[in-house]
Structure 1
């Protein structure tokens, strides 16, 4: 368990696997918002996420889950949406304008779809040995990157010219795609976008696999 205190608010508990991009998505949002939090690492290899005590918190037996002083929420995209709506000022993370708000929602859906089926899945195969269709996952990743590269040549961030929830949802697995055998070298605009996120105040990285990367 690690605690991160940045103000006087009681820390939010984050149940996680430190090598999960879904969990890192939440930790990144907590840190960007300068919220105090403590991480509770689950030994998922030995079934800690299926233990009766944890299933009381998250009946699906998944990570991440947060406990914000009694308010319990699972699902990474739901959590980061909750955190920004409760704790951020203005409309930086979720724009007020309908067009930009729709863009953010679109990329949250991509994070749950193509990013999960592509960059997340190739990493699950290479790092965790999961029996998924690697060729399909790699093809989805490369098709996604072929869309992202020209988009990020024309704008600074996924939903426009300032950072939003879209970037938080997309960052973790895309930045770690090389661990899944997909190189980022052919994509300078994507790499520049990742660097802009990493330069944002409060950025925290995700634990990297010790395995060779692409």
Structure 2
């Protein structure tokens, strides 16, 4: 029997991986760890990036949230990462990684995460990131007009990935005002237990 362990932290990308695993009811053991802290040396052979998430299957490591999500989707079967929409799926996964989520995560970092040791953020820096966010949020909001989900008229990993930063919107001061389609779409995601509370009962 294959032993599978999913190592995570509470940051944006690990949150997505845990949400996927719980949504798909993946046969994994969830383990919280500190890849940049006390667990770093022990886990460097498994993940040289010293980051989370990390999936280990019988000592075979797989890192990066998107790769882990694909692996878990393949294990589960079904249509969470549908083969018949593979190109469109990669379009949204890539767009999230390079554009929308970069801007959202940047706001979370400057407005929330780093404040405790760096102090208040530089307003000019935050304004520049917010400008990027508005640029890409406009694209997403227009895309979501008249549709429930991003790909194939059904919930897929594309929705989880593109929404990665939105659970942190209040803390990160992500400006969602005026993007009603994005807000309604994320409300639909929040109706899913695994998305709304991926860490419930784990820590």
In the superposition, the TM-score normalised over structure 1's length comes to 0.79
Please say which of residues 59-68 and 133-142 is displaced more in the overlay. 133-142
Structure 1 CA distance for aligned equivalents of residues 4 and 26 of structure 2: 8
The separation in 1 between residues aligned to 2:50 and 2:82, in whole angstroms, is 32
Q: Secondary structure at the match of 2:160?
A: helix
Confirm whether residue 123 of structure 1 aligns to residue 112 of structure 2: no
User: What is the alpha-carbon distance in structure 2 between the residues aligned to residue 93 and residue 79 of structure 1?
Assistant: 13
Question: Is the 1:14–1:66 contact (alpha carbons within 8 Å) kept by the matching residues of 2?
Answer: yes
CA deviation vs aligned residue, 1:114-136 (integer Å, no higher than 9, x gap):
13420011101122217794232
Structure 1, unaligned runs of 5 or more? 1-8, 208-214
1:113 aligns with 2:98: yes
TM-score by length of 2: 0.82
Could you list the per-position Cα deviations for residues 156-185 of structure 1 after superposition, in whole angstroms to 9, with x for gaps in the alignment?
A: 111231011111212231332332212323
Could you list the runs of 5+ residues in structure 2 that have no partner in the other structure?
Answer: none
Q: 1:143 and 2:135 equivalent?
A: yes
After superposition, the C-alpha distances for 1:46-90 in whole angstroms (9 at most, x for unaligned) are: 7236x21121110111111111333310001111011111x2223
Number of equivalences: 192
Return the match for 2:80 from 76, 79, 93: 93
Query: Aligned in 2, Cα 1:114/1:206: closer, same or farther, shift over 3 Å?
Result: farther
Alpha-carbon offset, residue 204 of structure 1:
4.4
Alpha-carbon distance between aligned partners in 2 of 1:39 and 1:48, rounded to the nearest angstrom: 18
Correspondent of 1:67 among 56, 63, 72: 56
Task: Provide the aligned C-alpha RMSD in A.
Answer: 2.4
